[in-house]
Structure 1
Amino acid sequence: MTTKECGERAGQFIATKEHRRFTEFAEAVRRHRYIGLCYGPAGVGKTLSARRYTHWNLAGEAIENWDRRPDQEKIDAALAGSRAVFYTPTVLGALRDMRRTLGDLMVRVEICIENHLWGDDEDCLGGKNERRIEMLILDEAERLSMAALEFVRDIFDRTGIGVILIGMPGMEKRLSRYPQLYSRVGFAHHYRPLHSDELTFVLTRHWRRLGLSLDGADFTDSQAIASIARITGGNFRLLHRLFVQIDRILKINGLSVITDDVVEAARSTLVVGI
């Protein structure tokens, strides 16, 4: 996936171990048709992984705006592969709006899947009443009211598709207060920050993007890595934000080496939080 596909804010997608674990989790939910809970700190990559799995970076805009694109065949094929819908509820959104929007998204994705399966064969389109969607992924699950959660449970019961709810740590404790929904939860996935070797692998990619090479045996590089690890705690989003500032500082000062001072200067421009 290119940086353009992810957007400047997210940066280029990197397939980490946590993303692979998320993919395995999503496949299990899709295969066994349970409700799955995915929770983890903000910025670790939960949304990126979900959008990657559903191909929503490619298909999302076309589905939401419902206009045919030059690469529509590619979009249809991607949706036919994932058989999933990605949806983020609005803040304080009304249930009727969620029902309408989610209903529209599901119908449109099914149309795209059928277009890929049957093409222009009108005798086959919609003729078998077979549900094409196999999974629904809802991001920012904390925004869902009790009524909205009941609506999600109703979709799960009526359609037989798998459902994934994505949110912050503690979401699973909140949902445990709704036994009718919680009793249908079959899988849970704790999405964790980057650690040790994986963090070094991601940092190597960031170094290369700046046209530099990372040498673990070089004291300057090792010192910079230690500072970045301490500042970001392996947070994927914070890593990207930090390297945007590192790139800016290198260009402004005409530098070609990422030192501890450069990292600290980049950190001073960010609101890192606790």
Structure 2
Amino acid sequence: MSMTMAASSSAPQSAGQRRGSTTWARPSGRRSCAATSARACAASARSSSCCRPRRSRRTCGCASGPRTSRKRRSSGPRASGATPRSNPFQRGLRRPRTTRSWASCPASSDACGWSNERAVAGEFEGARHDRNARESKRTVIMNNVNDIEETEGFIADQRDWLIEHKQTRALSWAQLHPLIGRPGSTLSLFAAGKYNGGPSASGNGEIAKHIFRFRQTLVRQTELKVEAPDIPTFFETKTASEIHHLLAWAQRGRMCYWVGGPGTGKTTAAKEYAQRASNVWHVEILRSTKTTMALCHQILEVMRDFTGPTGTARLSAYVMGKFRDTGGLLILDDAQNLDIDQIEEVRGWFDRTNVGVAFIGNPKVVSRMEGGSRAADFAQLYSRIGMRMIRALPLKDDIEALATAWQVQDEQVAATLHKIGSKPGGLRSCTYVMELAMMLARADNSELTVQHVHTAWTQLSSNPVVA
């Protein structure tokens, strides 16, 4: 454990007096560089900065901070060239020559002797049960794992953390696989100290580095959750109410479509309806969904059914059987990605099972179905459309609902949101702007102002909003 030097009396002393009578104390937490204190100012007599780096201890030399009862007193001046005992918790970490302060000192950001690697060493220091609390409070600089030596101490620390994290979060090895990037069986052997034949065998260091990267990511994402505002969940807008009405009509065994521009809230409203009504399957069509078989697989995945037969005809009949007598609704989002063969297959399901079908997409859906040489191809489909709605931009009431969800009180901020919402992107752009603007306001420790909104929009778009 690193040691710090404290003055033996509260009155300011000269550098010679301080070196003649010293008290060595074990710190109980993270050091605080209060350079304005009397004892910290006395340190400037022997150094131009408040913190002097040590040979093997990278602790701050300021004389402020918590003390514990465990002390070792020195009977005389410290011998020149004497090197304190090394910190056993910093084993395996090389000292980078170019890195500087991790928790910078208020007096001089380059003065503090804590290096990035030593700060990470503090990650492994102290009681295991208090580790997560310390990680959530620190501002961590993410370190390159290639600068860390694969020592037994480093590997053992990652193994202990992995076991504790798995137990605390009640995760399985299979669930940790995509998070850490190593197979669950490999992580299990590593935790048991049996990977490649032993806890120190080759390959353990690479796994430990993967775990260390995951730890750094968790800490950083936790900090962002603290900094970032909570984005409002679904809020009722006039457009959302109209979409819900259309979907409810479609679930009566009708075929409908809703066409809207980007940021009108069509996908959010469709997902919300699927959470409220039974037997509603919301399928987002990908551009890679080029065949009828691919469409069937996507529908079955939404149904959580992974036992479908092989072959396009048999698979389509299987999906049709899943629809029959359910009174359900199939929502095909991003329907502009469907081709004519897939749409005709959906029409066949609709005719034979009376399942409701709702197409949701951008204006390309209308142009494909109504215009050009394919108008005749979609004649049978179009004759079955029971309701259709088209909206290019959000309504004024939609933007007001968004401002209310964000608890916007400033009239200038609300007016700016209306200007942003009237541009392509609509409600989505307003959400991104408000998220960034709230973070800027928190950084300034002030209330949200129109200037924060303008700054956020400038960073997100090349088209500034006219005040």
Partner Cα distance (2:232, 2:404) in 1 = 15
**Structure 2 residue aligned with 1:267:** 457
**Structure 1 residue aligned with 2:289:** 93
Deviations 1:187-234 (A, max 9, x none): 112246443455334212213xxxxx61xxxxxx22222222112228
**Structure 2 residue aligned with 1:247:** 438
Question: Is the CA contact (8 Å cut-off) linking 1:41 and 1:192 kept in structure 2?
Answer: yes
Cα distance change on mapping 1:172 and 1:253 into 2, 3 Å: same
Deviations 1:141-195 (A, max 9, x none): 0110111111111111121111000011242231132112111111112246443
Cα distance change on mapping 1:53 and 1:185 into 2, 3 Å: same
Cα distance change on mapping 1:238 and 1:166 into 2, 3 Å: same
Identify which of 381, 388, 405 aligns with 1:188.
388
**How far apart are residue 245 of structure 1 and its match?**
0.9
**Structure 2 residue aligned with 1:84:** 280
Cα distance change on mapping 1:240 and 1:182 into 2, 3 Å: same
Identify which of 143, 147, 163 aligns with 2:337.
143
Partner Cα distance (1:134, 1:159) in 2 = 10
Partner Cα distance (1:263, 1:97) in 2 = 43
Cα distance change on mapping 1:88 and 1:201 into 2, 3 Å: closer
> Where does structure 2 lack aligned partners over 5 or more consecutive residues?
1-228, 306-322
Partner Cα distance (2:411, 2:361) in 1 = 34
**Structure 2 residue aligned with 1:46:** 266
**How far apart are residue 42 of structure 1 and its match?**
0.7
Residue type of the partner of 1:228?
L
Q: Indicate whether 1:172 and 2:366 are aligned.
A: yes
User: Alignment partner of 1:137: what SS?
Assistant: strand
Partner Cα distance (1:104, 1:195) in 2 = 34
Partner Cα distance (2:462, 2:278) in 1 = 35
Cα distance change on mapping 1:271 and 1:42 into 2, 3 Å: same
**Structure 1 residue aligned with 2:237:** 16
**Structure 1 residue aligned with 2:195:** none
Partner Cα distance (2:230, 2:443) in 1 = 21
**Structure 2 residue aligned with 1:72:** none
Partner Cα distance (2:463, 2:358) in 1 = 28
Residue type of the partner of 2:417?
I
Cα distance change on mapping 1:198 and 1:146 into 2, 3 Å: closer
Deviations 1:22-51 (A, max 9, x none): 1111111112x2210101111111000111
User: Alignment partner of 2:282: what SS?
Assistant: strand
Partner Cα distance (1:180, 1:197) in 2 = 36
Question: Is the CA contact (8 Å cut-off) linking 1:245 and 1:269 kept in structure 2?
Answer: no
Identify which of 350, 360, 366 aligns with 1:156.
350
Question: Is the CA contact (8 Å cut-off) linking 1:88 and 1:139 kept in structure 2?
Answer: yes
**How far apart are residue 93 of structure 1 and its match?**
2.0
Sequence identity of aligned pairs in percent? 23
Residue type of the partner of 1:152?
V
Superposition pairs of residues 36-75 of structure 1, within 5 angstroms: 36-55=256-275
Identify which of 217, 224, 228 aligns with 2:417.
228
Question: Is the CA contact (8 Å cut-off) linking 2:433 and 2:457 kept in structure 1?
Answer: yes
Cα distance change on mapping 1:9 and 1:169 into 2, 3 Å: farther
Cα distance change on mapping 1:263 and 1:168 into 2, 3 Å: same
Count matched residues: 211
Superposition pairs of residues 201-220 of structure 1, within 5 angstroms: 201-207=401-407, 214=409
Question: Is the CA contact (8 Å cut-off) linking 1:29 and 1:163 kept in structure 2?
Answer: yes
| TM-score with structure 1 setting the length | 0.69
Q: Indicate whether 1:29 and 2:250 are aligned.
A: yes
Question: Is the CA contact (8 Å cut-off) linking 1:85 and 1:133 kept in structure 2?
Answer: no
Question: Is the CA contact (8 Å cut-off) linking 2:237 and 2:397 kept in structure 1?
Answer: no
Question: Is the CA contact (8 Å cut-off) linking 1:89 and 1:138 kept in structure 2?
Answer: yes
Cα distance change on mapping 1:263 and 1:104 into 2, 3 Å: closer
What do you get for the CA RMSD once the two structures are aligned? 2.8
Partner Cα distance (2:256, 2:390) in 1 = 11
Question: Is the CA contact (8 Å cut-off) linking 1:91 and 1:143 kept in structure 2?
Answer: yes
Query: Which deviates more from structure 2 when the two are superposed, residues 88-97 or residues 187-196?
Result: 187-196
Partner Cα distance (1:231, 1:100) in 2 = 39
Identify which of 415, 428, 433 aligns with 1:237.
428
Partner Cα distance (1:45, 1:145) in 2 = 24
Cα distance change on mapping 1:263 and 1:160 into 2, 3 Å: same
